[in-house]
C-alpha cells in the first residue's frame, strides 16, 4: 500500500511537470494551427534565463518566473511579428511553419552553445533536496512547487480564456478567424498575443524543469517530444484535456515499472500515442477548441 | 589543360601530406554539440602533446627530425559527422595518421572508416569493449573497458567486506544506463558477484534511459528491496538528477556509487557537499596519481604551466597520452609507413601516466588497454583521495557509509 501511495504521488507530481511543458504547445496549435517546433528552444531558453538570474543576481527561481515569462512573452511577440506572421495560414503553411520554427530552434540552440558552452548547468537552491512527509512517503519540496505552478497555470489559463475579453477573443479566433474579422476582432493581434503567451508558457516550463534536473543547450528536445505526446493525447487545442492527458501519461509511465523494465517505461508514452492516433485520432478528449 | 595540371600540382604540394618535413595527424573532436565540454578538454590534451613535441624539434623519424601538425576538425558530437570527417581527413586532407574523438558511439563509427582505409587510429575516448571485439587491426584504445571499472570498485568493496565492515552476503541494487557503457558496468558487477561464491547477490537489476527526468519509481523499487549496496552507472546529468531524488527519498546505503561519476567539482556544486559525501567512484585517471607516478607528475606540471595553473582532469590526460602513444610508435617505426607504425603500436610497451604505470595494447583484448582504474571516495572534508589500488592510494576509504542512520 505504501508503495502504491509512493507511485501515485510520483505520478501526480510528474504530471505537473508534463502539463507545464505542454500548455504552450497546445495553446499555439489550438489558435494558430501551427506546430511550434521552437517550443523546445524556448524551454531551454527559459532554463538558462532562470539559471542566469539565480547565478548572477541571486534571484530565487520561483521569483524569477514572472520576469522570465514576461521576457519570453516579448520574444514570442517579436518572433510572431518578424517571422511567423509572414507564413501562409492553415494547412498551406504547415510545412513552412515547421521548417521556419525548426530553423529558429537551431539558431536559439547554437546561440546558447556559443554563450554558455555545452556544459551541463544546474540551479541549486537551499531547498533543492528538501523533502516533506506526505501519505507515508517523502516528497521533494521542489517537485511539489512545480506541481503547484502547473496547477496555477491551468487555473490562470482557464480564467483567462473564460472570463476575460482577450480570452473570449482568443477562443473566437480559434473557432472562426474570418467571422472574428467581421465583428471587429483584430485576428493578427490575437495571433501575436497567443504566440507570445505560448512562448512564455514554454519558458516557464523550462525554468521549472531547471530546478529539477541539469540542462545544457540541447535541453528541450526530449521535452518537446513529451509535450507532443501530451497534447495529442489530450486533443489538440484542449487545455483541460492537456492537464488530464499529462496525468494519464505520468500514471502509465510510473506504474509501468511494476510490470516492465525501467528503461522501457519512457517508451510506454509513445505506444500510448500510437494507440490514441489509431483509435481516437482527435485525442482522448476530442478536438475541442480551447474549452 | 597544362595550366590545370600545374595548378593541381601546386595544390598537391601545398596539401599537408606533401609537406615532406612534417607529419600531419588528423583528428576530430566534439567541439560543439552535447559533448563539447569534454571535447574541449581532449583538445587541450592533444595541443599540449603537440606543443611539447614541437619544443623538442619534432619527432625523430629514421634519424631525421620531423615536425608534427594536428589537423583538428569539429565532429559536432554526431556519429555521421565523425565518420564523414574521418573520411575527409584520410582521403582529401591526406593525413598520415588519425587520433580518435571522444565518446563511445563516435569512436565506434569513426573506427570503421579508419579500418576501411587501413590507417592507424589511436583513441582515448571509446571505452566500450564492444568496439574492440570486431577483430579490427587498425584501432588502438587507451580507455580501459568499463567492466574493469566495476571490477576495480568491487575489489575495494570486497576487501572491506573481508575486513568485516560490510555484511556477507551483501545485496546489491544495480542500476545502469541503457548504453554500452552501462552494459559493461553491469557485466563487471554481475561477473564479480557470480565469482564471489555467495559474497554478493544482485537484488535489483534495472537499466534506465539517458537524461531521465524522473527516477522516483526506480528508486522506489530500490527502497523496497532494502539492499546493502547501491551501484549505479550514469552520466553526469543523470547522476545529479538521480542523487537529488535519492536524497529526497531518504535513501542511504552502506556503499553508494555512480560508477565513473562522483568526485566532480560540478556535481558537488550542483548537489551540495553534504549530499555527495562518501560516494565511491572509479575513473581512468586522477591528478592525484602525480604523487606516485613520475609520468603523471610531469604531465600535471606541463598542463598547469600551459593552462594557468589549472588542474587537469582525466580527459586531458587521456588526450595527451593518446597523442604520445602515437608519437612513440612513429619514432619506434622510424618511418611513416602505416603498417610499420601499426605494428609498433601493437607491440608498444612504455611507461605511462595511466594507473598501473604501463601502456600496452593487448591483442587478446582487441588492442584495448587493460590498465586498472583508480577508486576514489568523497570524504567529509571535501577531498576525494584515491583509495585503491593500494600502490596508487593517497588516502583511506570509509565503509560502511557513516552518514546513514544506525
Instruction: Kindly list the domain boundaries of chain A, sorted by start residue.
Output: 2-279
- H/E run at residue A13: helix A2-32
Which sign does the torsion angle of CA B10, B12, B15, B20 carry? negative
Cis before B348? omega within 30: no
- Strands B121-123 and B97-99 turn out to be parallel
Torsion of CA A85, A87, A89, A91, to 10 degrees: -150
Give percent of chain B above pLDDT 70.
Answer: 95
Nearest-by-Cβ selection for A131 from B178, B241, B248: B248
Residue appearing with cell numbers 550514469: B234
Q: Among the ranges A21-25, A264-268, B112-116, which has the highest mean pLDDT value?
A: B112-116
Q: Look at B34 and A218 and tell me if their CB atoms are within 8 Å.
A: yes
At residue B106 the predicted structure's pLDDT band, cuts being 50, 70 and 90, is: very high
The answer to whether residues B304 and B311 touch, using CB atoms and an 8 Å cutoff, is: yes
d(CA B308, CA B302): 10
Q: What is the pLDDT of residues B176-196, one digit of tens each?
A: 999 888 999 999 999 999 999
Average pLDDT value for chain B: 92
Cβ neighbors of B156 (< 8 A, separation 6 or more) are: B280, B375, B387, B388, B397
Shortest Cα–Cα distance, A110 to chain B (Å): 8
Torsion of CA A84, A89, A90, A96, to 10 degrees: -50
The answer to whether residue B280 scores a pLDDT higher than 50 is: yes
Tell me the three cell numbers of residue B179: 548504453
Shortest Cα–Cα distance, A5 to chain B (Å): 11
Instruction: Flag whether residue B235 sits within 8 Å of chain A, measured between CB atoms.
Output: no
Who has greater pLDDT, B344 or A157?
Answer: B344
- Strands B255-257 and B279-283 turn out to be parallel
Beta bridge partners of B351: B358
Residue appearing with cell numbers 595544390: B11
The lowest-confidence range among A121-130, B50-59, B335-344 is A121-130
User: Which positions in chain A touch B276 (Cβ < 8 Å)?
Assistant: none
Residue appearing with cell numbers 575489489: B155
**Where does chain B hold its CATH 3.40.50.2300 domain(s)?**
2-144+291-365, 147-283+374-392
Give, as one character, the DSSP assignment of residue B357: S
Which pLDDT score, from 0 to 100, does residue B398 have?
96
Which pLDDT score, from 0 to 100, does residue B59 have?
97
Count CA atoms within 13 Å of residue A253 on its CB side. 30
Q: What are phi and psi of A261, to 5 degrees?
A: -60, 150
Say how many Å lie between the first and final Cα of chain B, rounded.
Answer: 87
Give percent of chain B above pLDDT 90.
Answer: 83
At residue A237 the predicted structure's pLDDT band, cuts being 50, 70 and 90, is: low
At residue A92 the predicted structure's pLDDT band, cuts being 50, 70 and 90, is: low
Which pLDDT score, from 0 to 100, does residue B1 have?
45
d(CA B374, CA B376): 6
Which sign does the torsion angle of CA B33, A113, A222, A56 carry? positive
The answer to whether residues A76 and A200 touch, using CB atoms and an 8 Å cutoff, is: yes
The answer to whether residues A43 and A32 touch, using CB atoms and an 8 Å cutoff, is: no
Q: What is the pLDDT of residues B123-136, one digit of tens each?
A: 999 988 889 999 99
d(CA A143, CA A150): 11
Residue appearing with cell numbers 509513445: A270
Beta bridge partners of B71: B26
At residue B9 the predicted structure's pLDDT band, cuts being 50, 70 and 90, is: very low
The lowest-confidence range among A243-257, A267-281, B83-97, B178-192 is A267-281
Longest dimension (CA), chain A: 59
Tell me the three cell numbers of residue B110: 569513426
Q: Look at B275 and A129 and tell me if their CB atoms are within 8 Å.
A: yes
Q: What is the crossing angle of helices A221-234 and A39-57, to 10°?
A: 130
User: Which positions in chain B touch A133 (Cβ < 8 Å)?
Assistant: none
> Residues 141..170 of A with a Cβ closer than 8 Å to B: which?
142
At residue A77 the predicted structure's pLDDT band, cuts being 50, 70 and 90, is: very high
Cβ count within 10 A of residue B376:
26
Shortest Cα–Cα distance, A117 to chain B (Å): 7
The answer to whether residues B266 and B236 touch, using CB atoms and an 8 Å cutoff, is: yes
The answer to whether residue A1 scores a pLDDT higher than 80 is: no
- Strands B170-177 and B139-141 turn out to be unpaired
User: Which positions in chain B touch A209 (Cβ < 8 Å)?
Assistant: 213
At residue A41 the predicted structure's pLDDT band, cuts being 50, 70 and 90, is: very high
Cβ count within 10 A of residue B225:
12
- Strands A137-140 and A131-134 turn out to be antiparallel
User: At CA A256, angle to CA A253 and CA A260, rounded to 5?
Assistant: 130
Q: Look at A118 and B214 and tell me if their CB atoms are within 8 Å.
A: no
Tell me the three cell numbers of residue B367: 588492442
d(CA A7, CA A14): 10
Which pLDDT score, from 0 to 100, does residue B11 have?
43
Count CA atoms within 13 Å of residue B365 on its CB side. 20
Which pLDDT score, from 0 to 100, does residue A234 have?
85
Instruction: Flag whether residue B266 sits within 8 Å of chain A, measured between CB atoms.
Output: yes
Q: Look at B37 and A257 and tell me if their CB atoms are within 8 Å.
A: no
Q: What are phi and psi of A139, to 5 degrees?
A: -120, 135
d(CA A13, CA A167): 28
CATH number of B2-144+291-365: 3.40.50.2300
- pLDDT (mean) for B171-177: 97
Which pLDDT score, from 0 to 100, does residue B15 have?
47
User: Closest Cα to residue A219, out of A87, A50, A90, A81?
Assistant: A50
Provide the CATH topology of domain A2-279. ABC transporter involved in vitamin B12 uptake, BtuC (1.10.3470)
To probe the interface with B, which of A116, A220, A266 has the most B CB atoms within 10 Å?
A: A266
Report H helices in A211-238.
221-234
User: Closest Cα to residue B387, out of B156, B201, B91, B65?
Assistant: B156
Q: Look at B217 and A131 and tell me if their CB atoms are within 8 Å.
A: no
Residue appearing with cell numbers 585503491: B388
User: Closest Cα to residue B175, out of B205, B147, B145?
Assistant: B205
The answer to whether residue B2 scores a pLDDT higher than 60 is: no
- Classify B121 as helix, strand or coil: strand
Q: What is the pLDDT of residues B373-402, one digit of tens each?
A: 999 999 999 999 999 999 899 999 999 999
- Classify B367 as helix, strand or coil: coil
Secondary structure tally for chain A: helices H, strands E: 11, 2
Residue B208 backbone zone (phi > 0: left; psi -120 to 50: alpha; other: beta): beta
Instruction: Flag whether residue A252 sits within 8 Å of chain B, measured between CB atoms.
Output: no
CATH number of B147-283+374-392: 3.40.50.2300
Which pLDDT score, from 0 to 100, does residue A13 have?
92
10 Å CB burial of residue A98 (0-12, 13-18, 19+) is middle
Number of inter-chain CB pairs under 8 A, A vs B: 114
Tell me the three cell numbers of residue A15: 504530471
Residue appearing with cell numbers 499529462: A246
Torsion of CA A260, A264, A270, A272, to 10 degrees: 0
Instruction: Flag whether residue B60 sits within 8 Å of chain A, measured between CB atoms.
Output: no
Who has greater pLDDT, B270 or B6?
Answer: B270
Q: Look at B249 and A120 and tell me if their CB atoms are within 8 Å.
A: no
Report H helices in B61-128.
79-91, 104-116
Tell me the three cell numbers of residue B356: 598501473
Who has greater pLDDT, A287 or B342?
Answer: B342
Radius of gyration (C-alpha) of chain A in whole angstroms:
19
Which pLDDT score, from 0 to 100, does residue B10 have?
44
Distances (CA, A) of B297 to A90, B143, B352, B358: 66, 20, 11, 15
Amino acid at each position: 500500500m505504501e508503495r502504491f501511495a509512493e507511485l501515485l504521488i510520483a505520478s501526480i507530481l510528474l504530471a505537473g511537470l508534463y502539463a507545464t511543458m505542454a500548455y504552450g504547445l497546445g495553446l499555439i496549435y489550438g489558435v494558430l494551427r501551427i506546430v511550434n517546433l521552437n517550443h523546445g528552444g524556448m524551454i531551454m531558453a527559459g532554463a538558462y534565463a532562470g539559471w542566469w538570474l539565480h547565478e548572477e543576481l541571486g534571484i530565487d527561481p520561483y521569483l524569477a518566473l514572472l520576469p522570465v515569462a514576461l521576457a519570453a512573452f516579448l520574444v514570442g511577440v517579436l518572433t510572431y511579428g518578424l517571422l511567423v506572421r509572414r507564413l501562409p495560414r492553415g494547412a498551406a503553411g504547415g510545412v513552412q511553419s515547421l521548417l521556419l520554427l525548426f530553423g529558429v530552434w537551431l539558431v536559439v540552440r547554437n546561440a546558447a552553445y556559443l554563450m554558455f558552452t555545452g556544459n551541463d548547468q544546474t540551479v541549486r537552491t537551499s531547498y533543492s533536496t528538501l523533502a516533506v512527509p506526505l501519505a507515508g512517503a517523502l516528497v521533494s519540496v521542489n517537485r511539489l512547487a512545480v506541481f503547484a505552478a502547473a496547477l496555477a497555470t491551468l487555473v490562470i489559463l482557464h480564467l483567462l480564456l473564460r472570463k476575460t475579453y482577450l480570452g473570449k477573443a482568443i477562443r473566437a479566433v480559434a473557432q472562426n478567424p474570418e467571422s472574428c474579422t467581421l465583428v471587429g476582432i483584430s485576428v493578427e493581434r490575437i495571433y501575436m498575443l497567443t504566440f507570445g503567451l505560448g512562448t512564455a508558457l514554454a519558458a516557464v516550463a523550462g525554468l521549472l524543469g531547471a530546478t529539477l534536473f541539469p540542462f545544457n543547450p540541447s535541453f528541450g528536445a526530449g521535452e518537446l517530444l513529451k509535450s507532443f505526446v501530451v497534447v495529442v493525447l489530450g486533443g489538440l487545442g484542449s487545455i483541460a484535456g492537456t492537464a488530464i492527458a499529462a496525468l494519464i501519461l505520468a500514471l502509465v509511465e510510473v506504474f509501468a515499472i511494476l510490470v516492465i523494465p525501467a528503461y522501457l517505461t519512457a517508451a510506454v508514452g509513445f505506444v500510448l500515442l500510437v494507440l490514441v492516433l489509431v483509435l481516437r485520432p482527435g485525442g482522448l478528449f476530442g478536438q475541442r477548441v480551447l474549452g | 589543360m597544362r595550366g590545370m595540371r600545374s595548378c593541381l600540382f601546386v595544390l598537391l604540394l601545398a596539401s599537408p601530406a606533401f609537406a615532406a618535413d612534417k607529419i600531419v595527424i588528423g583528428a576530430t573532436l566534439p567541439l560543439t554539440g552535447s559533448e563539447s565540454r569534454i571535447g574541449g578538454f581532449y583538445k587541450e590534451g592533444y595541443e599540449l602533446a603537440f606543443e611539447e613535441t614541437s619544443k623538442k624539434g619534432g619527432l625523430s623519424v629514421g634519424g631525421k627530425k620531423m615536425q608534427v601538425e594536428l589537423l583538428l576538425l569539429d565532429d559536432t558530437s554526431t556519429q555521421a559527422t565523425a565518420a564523414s570527417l574521418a573520411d575527409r581527413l584520410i582521403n582529401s586532407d591526406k593525413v598520415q595518421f588519425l587520433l580518435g574523438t571522444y565518446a563511445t558511439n563516435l569512436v565506434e563509427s569513426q573506427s570503421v572508416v579508419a579500418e576501411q582505409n587501413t590507417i592507424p587510429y589511436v583513441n582515448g575516448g571509446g571505452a566500450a569493449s564492444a568496439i574492440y571485439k570486431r577483430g579490427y587491426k587498425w584501432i588502438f584504445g587507451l580507455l580501459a573497458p568499463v567492466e574493469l571499472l566495476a571490477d576495480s570498485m568491487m575489489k575495494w568493496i570486497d576487501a572491506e567486506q573481508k575486513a568485516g565492515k560490510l555484511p556477507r552476503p551483501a545485496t546489491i541494487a544495480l542500476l545502469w544506463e541503457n548504453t554500452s557503457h552501462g552494459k559493461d558496468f553491469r557485466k563487471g558487477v554481475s561477473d564479480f558477484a557470480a565469482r564471489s561464491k555467495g559474497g554478493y547477490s544482485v537484488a535489483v537489476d534495472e537499466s534506465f534511459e539517458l537524461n531521465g527526468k524522473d527516477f522516483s519509481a526506480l528508486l522506489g523499487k530500490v527502497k523496497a528491496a532494502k539492499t546493502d549496496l547501491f551501484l549505479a552507472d550514469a552520466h553526469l546529468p543523470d547522476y545529479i538528477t538521480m542523487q537529488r531524488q535519492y536524497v529526497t527519498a531518504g535513501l542511504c546505503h552502506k556503499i553508494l556509487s555512480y560508477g565513473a561519476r562522483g568526485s566532480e567539482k560540478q556535481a558537488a556544486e550542483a548537489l551540495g557537499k553534504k549530499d555527495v559525501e562518501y560516494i565511491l567512484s572509479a575513473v581512468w585517471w586522477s591528478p592525484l596519481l602525480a604523487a606516485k607516478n613520475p609520468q603523471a607528475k610531469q604531465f600535471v606540471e606541463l598542463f598547469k604551466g600551459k593552462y594557468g595553473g589549472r588542474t587537469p582532469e582525466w580527459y586531458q590526460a587521456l588526450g595527451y597520452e593518446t597523442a604520445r602513444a602515437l608519437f612513440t610508435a612513429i619514432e619506434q617505426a622510424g618511418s611513416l609507413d602505416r603498417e610499420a607504425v601499426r605494428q609498433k603500436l601493437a607491440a608498444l610497451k612504455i611507461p605511462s601516466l595511466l594507473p598501473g604505470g604501463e601502456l600496452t595494447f593487448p591483442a587478446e583484448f582487441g588492442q584495448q588497454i587493460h590498465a586498472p582504474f583508480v577508486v576514489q571516495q568523497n570524504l567529509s572534508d571535501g577531498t576525494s583521495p584515491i583509495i585503491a589500488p593500494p600502490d596508487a592510494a593517497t588516502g583511506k576509504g570509509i565503509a560502511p557509509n557513516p552518514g546513514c542512520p544506525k
